[in-house]
Amino acid sequence: MSENVTLEDVAKRAKVSRATVSRAVNKPDSVSPEALKRINKAIADMHYIPNRHARALTGVRSKSIGLIFFHDIKTLFYTSFWGHVINPIYEKLKSEGYDLQIIAHSNIDLNMSADSDAFATSISQKISDYHVDGFIVVGQSPRNLESIFSQIRTPMVAFGEPIFSSEIVSWVDTNNVLGGRIAVEYLAGKKKKRIAIITGGLEERWSISRFEGYKKGLAKAGITFDPSLVEHCNNSFSDATNVTQRLMHKRHDVDAIFAANDEIAFAVVQALKELNYGVGTDVLVVGFDNTNRAIQTYPLLTTIGQDYEKIGEYLVSGLLQKLKGQKVNSKKVTPKLIIRDSA
């Protein structure tokens, strides 16, 4: 097992000193190519994972934090959501004297399942090579996030509640159930009775939770849950558009739609316009996230706003607590309704 392999064991296998192995791990350019080759082979053969947490406990800090982005890197540029998430993290880290390194690992570029043990081991080994004091995980986290956390001894926190509950993974997330409930209760308060939902699928915790909130909101308003008013999409604009058109052809009486995120909501609005429905009059639309585009679309989008500043603050403060060896509890941040023209 890798946790039983020490720096001394690697040094003996590679026939170098302990200090040379340490330099190879932390500053590979300072080691001769021949020695580095032997050390890397010994590390691979012995499945050694450098214990950067132990280095942190000695008081030696890189003053750098790695942000692991489990998603297609292109989404950083063509959607504003991740900017909302990452910018407060960056600003908070900067105020604490830390740099931020973005480490992108797109699941679709790997020739293995994101939920496999091989994936967990591969990612664990790759991110162990970064010279940082801790990691913040964002994006579509794999289901085996707990396995990755357990293999990486560097302190870590995650944005987003894991699909499975875990005592190992410390996370911060919006209270998505509450957000979904708020959206539906608001629409019901507008005297809407046939409230549909379009989710982002039921594989990610955020979407599952918002769907759960939708059902709770219906129950609170005394509206019977109707499965025919539920649609799922793959989060792409084109699929969300097609799903909306299918819904409206199937149910001409829909008077409100709760879209599980703003990107879906923009597609819903476009599809309704193409079908000659008045958005905000014939059919009310509520999104979730309060991204920049919500105030750049027409009509302006009513949405559930995430408190990105507080999320970033909690993620950074939680990680800094972990760096001090303190226990960190997971947190849910309260969202709020942002009322505009679409509902």
Q: What is the pLDDT of residues 301-322, one digit of tens each?
A: 999 999 999 999 999 999 999 9
Domain that holds residue 7: 1-41
Domain for residue 319, yes or no?
A: no
Q: What is the mean pLDDT of the chain?
A: 85
pLDDT at 74 (0 to 100): 65
pLDDT at 148 (0 to 100): 67
Alpha-helix runs per DSSP H in the chain: 7-14, 18-26, 33-46, 52-57, 75-78, 81-95, 117-128, 145-151, 176-189, 205-221, 237-250, 262-274, 308-323
Dihedral-angle region of residue 263 (phi above 0 means left; psi in -120 to 50 means alpha; beta otherwise): alpha
pTM of the model: 0.78
Domain for residue 37, yes or no?
A: yes
Domain harbouring 236, CATH code: 3.40.50.2300
Domain harbouring 19, CATH code: 1.10.260
Count of other CB atoms within 10 angstroms of residue 65? 27
Domains in the chain, number: 2
pLDDT at 73 (0 to 100): 65
With 0-12 CB in 10 A as exposed, 13-18 as middle and 19+ as buried, what is 173?
A: buried
Give Cα 89 to chain centroid, integer Å.
13
DSSP letter, residue 200: S
* Among 131, 139, 126, 134, CA closest to 153: 134
DSSP letter, residue 300: P
For residue 289, pLDDT beyond 90: yes
Domain for residue 6, yes or no?
A: yes
At 165, the pLDDT band (50, 70, 90 cuts) reads: low
For residue 299, pLDDT beyond 80: yes
* Cross-strand pairs, 261: none
The Cα–Cα gap between 226 and 232 comes to 14
- In DSSP notation, 143-190 reads TTHHHHHHH--S-EEEES--SS--SS--EEEE-HHHHHHHHHHHHHHT
Give Cα 215 to chain centroid, integer Å.
23
Domain for residue 95, yes or no?
A: no
Domain for residue 242, yes or no?
A: yes
* Among 307, 79, 68, CA closest to 176: 307
For residue range 229-254, what is the model confidence (pLDDT) as tens digits?
A: 999 999 889 999 999 999 999 999 99
Domain for residue 92, yes or no?
A: no
Domain for residue 297, yes or no?
A: yes
Domain for residue 115, yes or no?
A: no
Residue type at position 289: D
